[in-house]
Amino acid sequence: MSVVEPFDVGWLDVGEGHRLYYEQSGNPAGIPAVMLHGGPGDGSRPGNRRLFDPETCRLIMFDQRGAGRSTPAAGLRANTTQHLLSDIECLREYLGVKRWLVSGGSWGSFLAMVYAIARPDSVLGLVLRGVVLGGADQVDWWFNGREIMFPEAHERMRTYVPPDEQDDLLRAYYRRLADEDPEVHVPAALRLREFMLPMTRLVPADGAGGVGDPAHALRIGRLWTHYCVNRFFMPDNHILDNIAVLRLLPAVIVQGRYDMVTPFRAAYRLSQAWPQAQLVAVHEGGHSADDPAITAALQYAHNHMVSVLRRSAQSQ
């Protein structure tokens, strides 16, 4: 599926100094769908438009606080999960959407579920990819557990900080990334991004060894560690404790069997608690939506959800 161009691009002032970039593409009369990007701090990507049928969907993408083209870049002030939930509602109301399909990948899956729990009347259904439940076990995996699969990469990440800080790598990196001095935060951001990036795809693309833009590395590294340190600004086990709300919504869970960022266990636990949701196990997929098998599964999931929602609307 080709990448279509937006029919609307704009900025939304959500207060406290934050301005969000947003765009709309596809069919203005189609089923509204909002895509919540990962990270935190990653930002929306033009390529994600190909995951939705432009004939049937009115796709809305935006960059969360501090991410992508939103300003201030990598800003931590007034940047919590509660702020992001408020922003989603503010954007929905601003664009005149009554209810929408919510699609979220990685961190975006967590945000999508938390939003649906808080505002179920605003949600038509959910598509989730690379499930994050927000538990301490996932954070430990990100900073420690992956050593079993990537020992050389983990050693480079770990030995960047002094030995007396290596027992808490999350806080060691967060201190550096939150520092206002570029000589402190830029090298730390690049080293952390170097560790993270090769793990996102099952088979890395040619030339994928570089860490890319230092500004992007800072946005994703600073915001990611900020949310991890603060336990995602949500009570522990919030999603599974409120699963009864999610069970009322149609959903598809797309999960790569060989996902090294958000391992399969979280998606399986979620599906066991939420049997109404369809779990699509992608046996040739890792974490990234750019893995060809994950791309195909997400296109299926969005098309399936649109069909379900259309049938539901016709029966009412």
Q: How confident is the model at residue 312 (pLDDT cuts 50, 70, 90)?
A: confident
Q: Which residue has the tokens 């603060």?
A: 230
**Is the same domain home to 245 and 124?**
yes
pLDDT at residue 210 in the model: 54
Residue 65 has pLDDT above 70, yes or no: yes
**Is the same domain home to 261 and 205?**
no
Q: Considering the domain boundaries, does residue 3 fall inside one?
A: no
The mean of the pLDDT values for the chain is 95
Q: How confident is the model at residue 269 (pLDDT cuts 50, 70, 90)?
A: very high
HSE (side-chain half, CA atoms, 13 Å) at 62: 29
Residues with active-site annotation: 106, 259, 287
pLDDT at residue 315 in the model: 74
Contacts of 44 (CB under 8 A, 6+ apart): 21, 23, 35, 37, 61, 62, 63, 68
CA–CA gap between residue 281 and residue 135 (Å, rounded) = 21
**Is the same domain home to 261 and 128?**
yes
CA–CA gap between residue 128 and residue 102 (Å, rounded) = 8
pLDDT at residue 202 in the model: 86
pLDDT tens digits along 166-210? 999 999 999 999 999 999 999 999 999 999 988 998 877 655 445
pLDDT at residue 135 in the model: 87
**Is the same domain home to 24 and 108?**
yes
pTM value? 0.96
Write out the E strands in 158-308.
251-256, 278-282
**Poorest-pLDDT segment among 136-140, 202-206, 240-244:** 202-206
**Is the same domain home to 259 and 281?**
yes
Residue 73 has pLDDT above 80, yes or no: yes
Q: Which domain holds residue 252?
A: 8-136+235-315
HSE (side-chain half, CA atoms, 13 Å) at 104: 27
Q: Which of 187, 209, 232 is the last residue of a domain?
A: 232
Q: Are 12 and 90 in contact (CB under 8 A)?
A: yes
Q: How confident is the model at residue 123 (pLDDT cuts 50, 70, 90)?
A: very high
> Which has the higher per-residue pLDDT, 236 or 6?
6
Q: How confident is the model at residue 211 (pLDDT cuts 50, 70, 90)?
A: low
Q: Which of 164, 197, 232 is the last residue of a domain?
A: 232
**Is the same domain home to 224 and 270?**
no
